[in-house]
Amino acid sequence: MPKLKSNKVPHGQDILNPDWPDAKWDIGGLFVHDDNIFQLLDQIQNRYACILPITSVFGCYNVMWQGGRTSCSSPVHNYSGWTPEAVIKDYNNRGIGCTFTFSNTLLKEEHLSDPSCNYLLDLLARQNFDSNAVAITCDILSDYIRDKYPNLRQKASIVKLTSEMPKKRTFEYYESLFEKYDRIYLHPDDNLNLRLCEKIAESGKADKYELLVNEKCTINCSIRKEHYDETSSAVIDGWHGMFNFTNVDFIHNPGHPNSICERWTKSELRSCVLSKAEFKQLYDLGFRNFKLQGRDAPWGFVNYNISDWMVEQDTIAPMLNF
């Protein structure tokens, strides 16, 4: 057990980080870390009488529409044996939405009828829970889902922003996305574009954006778009029908962009991870919705980031990280 900096243990809402008490969080781990997430939520509520401000959990099963990662969980249930429907219902009953990462960059008309993807989409939409959502890259999929489930929340994914505007995204570009999308993930490179963030705040739409705060990719990565496209290609090429995806070991392919990832080859470049001071600056501008990556990471990574960002640091964070 780590040594605490204070003998007084906070209780209730006082356990939240006092520098940003109104921050709301979208965390990775859907269909992967559900058991751990539920246990953590129960532990915090039972021990400290506080509900962690997690409003959404994102991720996806191995289906053709997914993107950003090749694998998050395998066939029809996760390691705890829960069905997708049971997992979604459990989160929704706790007031937490589920966001499916349908962010494949290479989808075509022929992919829209895929049975696995439609099965999951139907499960999500039928819950009729306002915070359930899909993160989208391809407009063709957005139109298909909007026609089928007009009230299901859609988010413009970081993958989409990278695919359409890999270098410089303007305020006007972001504004145009609201023609189709209900919420937008701000590109991690743009978290440090203070003038852009100020314009968004001045527009009165800061509450319609989510900001990823712990993105480990390098700022202005030159191969981010290629990485997403290669990932999407691996997902489609490895698809063999209803919940039957062969997770291609593409990352170790010498031709794959991840093999020359700047995060590994240019260690002097800074990542997109925000410092606490940078985060506070964005919070003070009026941003309240934030995202923590980690849907394909070990639980220790997810747990560490929850404790590092969401809770009071002197006493609560050390108790969650031993």
Domains of the chain are 20-320 (3.20.20)
**How far is the C-alpha of 46 from the C-alpha of 43, rounded, in Å?**
5
Q: Six-digit token pair at 221? A: 């990565």
Least confident of 57-71, 93-107, 125-139, 301-315: 57-71
Residue 72 has pLDDT above 70, yes or no: no
Q: Is there a contact between 202 and 208 (Cβ–Cβ < 8 Å)?
A: no
Q: How many CB atoms lie within 10 A of CB 11?
A: 11
**How far is the C-alpha of 40 from the C-alpha of 218, rounded, in Å?**
30
Amino acid at 79: Y
- Of all residues in the chain, what percent carry a pLDDT higher than 70? 84
pLDDT, residue 54, reads 98
pLDDT band at 218 (very low <50, low <70, confident <90, very high): confident
Cβ neighbours for 308, distance < 8 A, ≥ 6 positions apart? 317
Q: What is the mean pLDDT of residues 72-99?
A: 78
Which residue would you say has higher pLDDT here, 75 or 130?
130
Residue 228 has pLDDT above 90, yes or no: no
Cα separation values, 285 from 17, 87, 228, 256, Å: 17, 35, 31, 39
- Of all residues in the chain, what percent carry a pLDDT higher than 90? 65
- Stretch (H or E) spanning 96: none
pLDDT, residue 1, reads 45
Q: What is the pTM of this model?
A: 0.90
Q: How many CB atoms lie within 10 A of CB 12?
A: 10
Residue 75 has pLDDT above 50, yes or no: no
Residue 247 has pLDDT above 90, yes or no: no
Q: Given its phi and psi angles, is residue 128 left (phi above 0), alpha (psi -120 to 50 degrees) or beta?
A: left
Q: Six-digit token pair at 240? A: 């063999």
pLDDT, residue 225, reads 85
**How far is the C-alpha of 22 from the C-alpha of 42, rounded, in Å?**
20
Q: What values do phi and psi take at 175, rounded to 5? A: -60, -35
Amino acid at 43: Q
pLDDT, residue 251, reads 47
Q: Six-digit token pair at 311? A: 């809770």
Q: Give the number of C-alpha atoms closer than 13 A to the C-alpha of residue 80, restricted to the C-beta side.
A: 15
> Which residues sit opposite 108 in a β-bridge?
none
Cα separation values, 97 from 34, 44, 73, 121, Å: 13, 19, 18, 14
pLDDT, residue 258, reads 54
pLDDT, residue 4, reads 47
Average pLDDT, the chain: 87
Q: Given its phi and psi angles, is residue 241 left (phi above 0), alpha (psi -120 to 50 degrees) or beta?
A: left
Residue 135 has pLDDT above 90, yes or no: yes
Q: What is the mean pLDDT of residues 76-98?
A: 82
Q: Give the largest CA-CA distance in the chain.
A: 61
